[in-house]
Amino acid sequence: MRNLTRTLILLLPLTVLATTTRSQQITAPPVFQSSAANLIVPQSRTYSLSESEQPVQITGVTAEVRILQQIATTTMDVALANPTNRTQESEMLIPVPEGAVVRSFTFEGSSKEPTAKLLPKAEAQSIYRSIVAKLCDPALLEFASYSVIRSSVFPISAGGKQRVRITYEHVVKADGNRIDYVLPRSESFEASAIPWTISLRITASSPISGVYSPTHQVTVEYSGNQQAIVKTAGKQQLEPGPFRLSYLANSDSVTASLLAYPDARVGGGYFLLLAGVPAGMQRQESAMKREVTLVLDRSGSMKGEKIEQARDAALQVLEGLEEGEAFNIFDYSDSVAKFSEKPVIKDAKILGQARSYIKRIKAVGGTNIHDALVEAMRQPPTANMLPLTIFLTDGQPTVGETNEARIRKSVVETNLHKRRIFSFGVGYDLNAPLLTSISSATRATPTFVFPNENVEVKVSDVFKRLSGPVLAEPQIATVDGAGAVTTRAVRDLLPNELNDLFEGDQLVILGQYQTDEPLHFRLSGNYLGTPRTFDLKFDLSKATTRNSFVPRLWASRKIARLVEIITEAGAEITTAHFSNTIAYNTAATKSLNDPKLKELVDEIIRLSTEFGVLTEYTAFLATEGTDFNDVIRLNTQARESLVNNAQNVRSGMGGVTQASNTSNQMSQSNMNRSNSYLAQNMERVEITTVQQITDRTFFKRNNRWVDANALKNESAKPDRVVEVGTPEFYKLVDQLLRDGREGILALSGELLLVVDGKTVLIKAPPK
């Protein structure tokens, strides 16, 4: 950081932060005093302490984290701007985990010596409550469970900029072989307008077996098997909420951990089982090799750039295979051609022949998907190799068997050698549900290549993830205390069939548990070429409502699975469409009135409302004025959307975006709190009028956020009205803190929530 003129190094003992007992909580805060006109909370927003001044602005935050074994060092760079024509004084509050130690605090420009004081949780609460009393804004109280760093006052020149850097260190929590890091951030969507960039460098003393964030999308790069670099992915602006990251260590094979959320309504609660294998591990000579079959579309629609990219992608895959691994090439249009009758072992001579074969592939004719896939599935397998298939097409079946349901059935029935079919749909003129269902049925995933994307790059990205098979055909079962398989301990596991694990991969399994007894899982499969079984035992005593992301993730995958079932049932409508209008209308009407569809839609609406997980088919639930008492109308509206879109729109831009949305949601591992999805016009949609905070979902109604539990009675008079800043309000805050729900207070405007079965309206006092 340049031009930092003053630095203060503070070494504060950890004993400063002794945990505050409940009797020490402060309910009558002193007046907050500051000579600054602005109070800056980088993880939330800026507060103006002077009514006559426009507040300074937070223009961006960069957080760099270094985790060395169990010590995390967090450096936050905060960029500020003063929009006024006068110099403004500011100070900063930074919520930090308990046990933190300030290492340095710096800012630009000359001023009195900068200081930063670390305040324990009780004193932090006192400051927050004092500010809330002054501003009648309860948002700061969402950080009441954290300690806080309070800085000295610093200047920001008129129309100028300022940069502040704070570094703190703390011991991250460990649960067995899982290390958990948390960076406090606001739950508010309004606060997410501040662009954040977060990166982490992890150095462990033993192999890292998986890195996972349940809250935000991240990319992970491994350096050896004991170091990982993690960066937030996607947009520069992050979704709201604390940034959470976990990684597994202490093993050179399969490592696992469990995160549980208690909920008596489902028997015991929800769980997330995280399992992984180290990246960069030294594999044995007996490690499983790959057999890769390329099935390439060479129909007339592939002419030009697409066929060139497909050829380049095929060459990249073959070059990426290890010596001694196997491959074959099938290319198809009206008919099917192949490089060899059976997979061949890669060596220099065979690779040269394959290059020549690929270069001669020309685009002409129709699209015989059925015969191409069936022929590829029938070829004899290569012993002791993991059979992978890369299937690429840019069109719908036009030659041979064209019935979607029969193609899917034929491919599954002839796939006796359990080949994984990784499908790639190029462009929009294809049957997207067909590609999705074929991949899902064979322990693989679909990928859609949009018109402005490169086929070669997309295929290459997927193939890189398929390096180093570690655990093939994984199976998981739950066993009782005697070691016998039981179906009573857990239910609704998602996914219900596990994909293979490759180097650096991780399994994220979600489900409901039905007991308070320890959970005992048995994970089995072909581990590095040898059948292995791993016993995984977990104590449920650490289940906590702080893990509220677990039931939301489960609900999101469950909704996607229900949508997938409804979509697959639409193959009948597609077939009727090619017959005649009468047949199509009959099929569509039959589907719309199917009692099974109504039952599935009822469950989708229930889950969407309870967990705040909305899709393109249920986005109408977020519309102002939606009557949640009219269950018949809600079901009818959702059914019509699912039939008219998920079932009826199977190709074109809409079909591809829907399939892509559902596929992503089926494997979703982070919360997606904004419910973002691709609309049928390819525009990204976000729904911010519905928010899940902790374990509660809220719907925006005018200037009021309404608890989903109160939606059917939102027009009724609340049981209690509580004004911000009153003793009754702080008593309610204490209860929210005990329940781990203080993040709810980040919501702006009035708040109608259910507490102990009663509706409570929180509102600002009259001016």
Q: Between 601 and 288, name the one with better pLDDT.
A: 601
Residue 30 has pLDDT above 80, yes or no: no
> In the prediction, which pLDDT does 584 show?
61
Q: Between 221 and 51, name the one with better pLDDT.
A: 221
Closest by alpha carbon to 608, among 628, 630, 632, 633? 628
> In this structure, how many other beta carbons lie within 10 angstroms of the beta carbon of residue 633?
12
Which tokens is 531 given? 């059948």
Model confidence pLDDT, tens digit, residues 699-735:
999 899 999 999 999 889 999 999 999 999 999 999 9
Pairing of strands 720-723, 758-763: parallel
How confident is residue 572, by pLDDT bands cut at 50, 70 and 90? confident
Residue 251 has pLDDT above 80, yes or no: no
Beta strands in 109-249 (DSSP E): 116-119, 147-151, 154-156, 161-171, 173-175, 178-183, 196-203, 210-212, 218-223, 227-232, 243-248
Instruction: Name the least confident of 32-41, 180-189, 639-648.
Output: 32-41
> In the prediction, which pLDDT does 27 show?
45
> In the prediction, which pLDDT does 11 show?
35
> Could you give the 3-state DSSP secondary structure of residue 450?
coil
Distance from first CA to last CA of the chain, Å, rounded? 45
What are φ and ψ of residue 101, in 5° steps? -130, 125
How confident is residue 35, by pLDDT bands cut at 50, 70 and 90? confident
> Could you give the 3-state DSSP secondary structure of residue 190?
coil
* Rounded mean pLDDT, 306-331: 96
Predicted model pTM: 0.92
Q: Under CATH, domain 4-248 is a member of which superfamily? A: tricorn interacting facor f3 domain (2.60.40.1730)
* Rounded mean pLDDT, 100-116: 84
* Rounded mean pLDDT, 749-764: 95
- Nearest 5°: the CA angle 471, 259, 477 is 45
Instruction: Name the least confident of 67-71, 244-248, 286-290, 426-430.
Output: 286-290
Task: Report yes or no: 98 and 86 within 8 Å, Cβ to Cβ.
Answer: no
How confident is residue 70, by pLDDT bands cut at 50, 70 and 90? very high
Task: Report yes or no: 613 and 607 within 8 Å, Cβ to Cβ.
Answer: yes
List 530's β-bridge partners, or say none: 527
Q: Which residue do the tokens 């018109």 mark?
A: 451
> In the prediction, which pLDDT does 8 show?
36
Which tokens is 307 given? 């066929």
Model confidence pLDDT, tens digit, residues 575-631:
555 555 666 666 667 777 788 999 999 999 999 999 999 999 999 999 988 999 999
Q: Measured between alpha carbons, how far is 594 from 581 in angstroms, rounded to an integer?
A: 20
* Rounded mean pLDDT, 133-143: 92
Model confidence pLDDT, tens digit, residues 507-535:
999 999 999 899 999 999 999 888 999 99
Instruction: Name the least confident of 131-135, 137-141, 286-290.
Output: 286-290
Model confidence pLDDT, tens digit, residues 37-64:
899 999 999 998 877 678 899 999 999 9
Q: Could you tell me the CA-to-CA distances from 284 to 289, 324, 385 in Å, in that order? A: 11, 15, 14
How confident is residue 211, by pLDDT bands cut at 50, 70 and 90? very high
Cis preceding linkage at 495, omega within 30: yes
The CATH number of the domain covering residues in 255-284+470-546: 2.60.40.10
> In the prediction, which pLDDT does 50 show?
79
pLDDT above 70: percentage of residues in the chain: 92
Element (H, E) at 371: helix 369-378
Task: Report yes or no: 345 and 325 within 8 Å, Cβ to Cβ.
Answer: yes
> In the prediction, which pLDDT does 574 show?
62
- Chain CA centroid to CA 713, Å: 32
Residue 328 has pLDDT above 70, yes or no: yes
Exposure of 85 in the CB half-sphere (CA atoms within 13 A):
0
Residue 476 has pLDDT above 50, yes or no: yes
Instruction: Give 524-590 as a DSSP string.
Output: EEEETTEEEEEEEEE-GGG--GGGTHHHHHHHHHHHHHHHHHHHHHTHHHHHHHTT-HHHHHHHHHH
> In the prediction, which pLDDT does 23 show?
34
> In the prediction, which pLDDT does 250 show?
78
> In the prediction, which pLDDT does 619 show?
97
Provide the Cα torsion 693, 694, 699, 704; round to 10°: -70
> Could you give the 3-state DSSP secondary structure of residue 199?
strand
Examine domains 4-248 and 255-284+470-546 and report if their fold is the same.
yes
In angstroms, what is the C-alpha Rg of the chain?
28
Residue 72 has pLDDT above 80, yes or no: yes
Q: Measured between alpha carbons, how far is 721 from 728 in angstroms, rounded to an integer?
A: 10
Model confidence pLDDT, tens digit, residues 332-367:
999 999 999 999 999 999 999 999 999 999 999 999
Cα four-point dihedral sign 397, 398, 400, 403: positive
Q: Which CATH number fits domain 289-466: 2.60.120.10, 1.10.3720.10, 3.40.50.1370, 3.40.50.410?
A: 3.40.50.410
Task: Report yes or no: 41 and 49 within 8 Å, Cβ to Cβ.
Answer: no
Which tokens is 193 given? 């307008």
Closest by alpha carbon to 709, among 691, 697, 721, 692? 697
Average pLDDT along the chain = 90
Which tokens is 258 given? 């469990």
Q: Between 703 and 168, name the one with better pLDDT.
A: 168
Q: Measured between alpha carbons, how far is 603 from 277 in angstroms, rounded to an integer?
A: 35
Q: Which residue do the tokens 């060479």 mark?
A: 298
> Could you give the 3-state DSSP secondary structure of residue 66?
strand
- Chain CA centroid to CA 200, Å: 18
Amino acid type, 220:
V
Going from N- to C-terminal start, the domains of the chain cover 4-248, 255-284+470-546, 289-466, 549-688, 694-763
